[in-house]
């Protein structure tokens, strides 16, 4: 794979940035990758494990001469970083981000992007419950979607270059508008995370009553909840505050459905429960048949690539 950018700057050296670095290096997508982390401890760790060609102590050294600047920080601070880097950006450079929410990030960042610099927001739909510079790995984006959310008036050539970059990182790339992105992600990612956090919280309350049986005998479904609920608190606090409207809309619908199921259980309405579960099972079957779940054991990794 050929080099796509001469110099890439990664700001915030956590799970996503570190995975990007290893994926960039695997495919030779950049001449040089510079990285910046706010804390001296993270920068030290990054140097120790060889993360980035150069770990910088300042934002100006990181961004200087970069053709692609990637904001890999929690969504609540994207605007603060944009303010700081704006005067340092090279004309013709592209600024992108990997934030889990798009409308609010665009509102925070766009006003600060100088004329002559491209801004192409993005979101790789891949992650784990781990965070920090040691958590990344080159394969994170393989066969996962990366959504690009170009704002009005963006140069199509800048979008196309970023698309080729993400494809080089192993992802399948699609474009979507910001509001639609935020509603879709509220359904597929944000509300499920909140439900997992709640379920694990409920179990923890119960644990005090049952003296650790909840954890000891936890079955597969609950273990999956605990994995998701172990995700970074700062990242997820910011996601909910940033995607407030869409998340509340989906949680409202979720609560209505939950009440209906609760009533069916109370009234012994087995038909309602059976019909509901039949419908949801068909949805899962449809996902597998469409080749959209690359983790499904009956489908196999890698088969999801279009």
- Kindly list the residues in this chain that would bind ligand PRE in the complex (CB under 6 A): 100, 125-129, 189, 228, 231
Closest separation in Å from C-beta 59 to ligand NAD: 9
Residues of span 41-70 touching ligand NAD by CB under 6 A: 42
- 124 lies in the binding site for ligand NAD (CB under 6 A): yes
- Of all helices (H) and strands (E), which one includes residue 94? strand 94-97
Closest separation in Å from C-beta 187 to ligand PRE: 11
Q: Which is nearer to ligand NAD, 148 or 239 (CB)?
A: 239
Q: Which is nearer to ligand NAD, 37 or 250 (CB)?
A: 37
Q: Determine how β-strand 145-148 pairs with β-strand 172-175.
A: parallel
CA–CA dist 59, 285 (Å, integer): 47
Closest separation in Å from C-beta 148 to ligand PRE: 14
DSSP β-bridge partners for residue 71: 11, 97
Residues of span 76-115 touching ligand NAD by CB under 6 A: 77, 98-100
Q: Which is nearer to ligand NAD, 77 or 195 (CB)?
A: 77
| Interhelix angle 233-242/244-267, nearest 10 degrees | 100
Residues of span 157-216 touching ligand NAD by CB under 6 A: none
Question: Is 220 within 8 Å of 116 (Cβ atoms)?
Answer: no
CA–CA dist 130, 91 (Å, integer): 35
CA–CA dist 288, 299 (Å, integer): 7
Question: Is 78 within 8 Å of 97 (Cβ atoms)?
Answer: yes
Q: Determine the distance from the C-alpha atom of residue 201 to the mean position of all C-alpha atoms in its chain, rounded to a whole number.
A: 23
Q: What angle do CA 114, 51, 6 make, to 5 degrees?
A: 45
Closest separation in Å from C-beta 230 to ligand PRE: 9
Number of residues counted as binding ligand NAD (CB under 6 A): 25
Among residues 35, 122, 127, 168, the one that binds ligand NAD under rule CB under 6 A: 127
Q: Which is nearer to ligand NAD, 4 or 11 (CB)?
A: 11
- Of all helices (H) and strands (E), which one includes residue 27? helix 15-27
Closest separation in Å from C-beta 130 to ligand NAD: 7
Q: Applying CB under 6 A, which residues contact ligand NAD?
A: 12-17, 37-39, 42, 72-75, 77, 98-100, 124, 127, 131-132, 232, 235, 239
């Amino acid at each position: 794979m050929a080099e796509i950018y001469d110099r890439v700057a990664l700001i915030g050296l956590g799970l996503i940035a570190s995975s990007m670095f290893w994926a960039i290096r695997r495919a030779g997508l950049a001449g040089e990758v510079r990285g910046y982390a706010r804390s001296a401890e993270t920068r030290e760790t990054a140097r120790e494990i060889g993360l980035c060609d150069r770990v910088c102590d300042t934002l100006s050294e990181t961004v200087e001469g970069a053709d692609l600047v990637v904001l890999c920080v929690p969504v609540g601070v994207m605007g603060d970083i944009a303010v700081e880097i704006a005067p340092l950006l090279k004309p013709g450079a592209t600024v992108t981000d990997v934030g889990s929410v798009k409308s609010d990030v665009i509102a925070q960042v766009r006003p600060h992007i100088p004329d002559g610099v491209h801004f192409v927001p993005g979101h790789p739909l891949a992650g784990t419950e781990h965070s920090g510079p040691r958590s990344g790995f080159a394969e994170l984006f393989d066969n996962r979607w990366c959504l690009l959310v170009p704002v009005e008036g963006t140069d199509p050539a800048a979008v196309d270059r970023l698309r080729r970059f993400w494809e080089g990182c192993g992802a399948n790339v699609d474009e979507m508008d910001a509001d639609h992105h935020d509603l879709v992600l509220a359904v597929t990612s944000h509300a499920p995370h909140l439900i997992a956090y709640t379920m694990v919280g409920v179990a923890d309350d119960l644990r005090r009553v049952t003296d650790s049986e909840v954890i000891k005998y936890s079955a597969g479904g609950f273990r999956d909840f605990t994995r998701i609920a172990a995700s970074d608190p700062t990242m997820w606090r910011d996601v909910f505050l940033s995607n407030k409207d869409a998340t509340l809309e989906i949680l409202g619908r979720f609560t209505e459905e939950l009440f209906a199921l609760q009533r069916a259980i109370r009234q012994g309405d087995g038909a309602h429960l059976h019909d509901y579960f039949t419908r949801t099972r068909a949805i899962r079957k449809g996902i597998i048949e469409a080749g959209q779940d690359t983790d499904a054991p009956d489908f196999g990794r890698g088969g999801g690539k279009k």
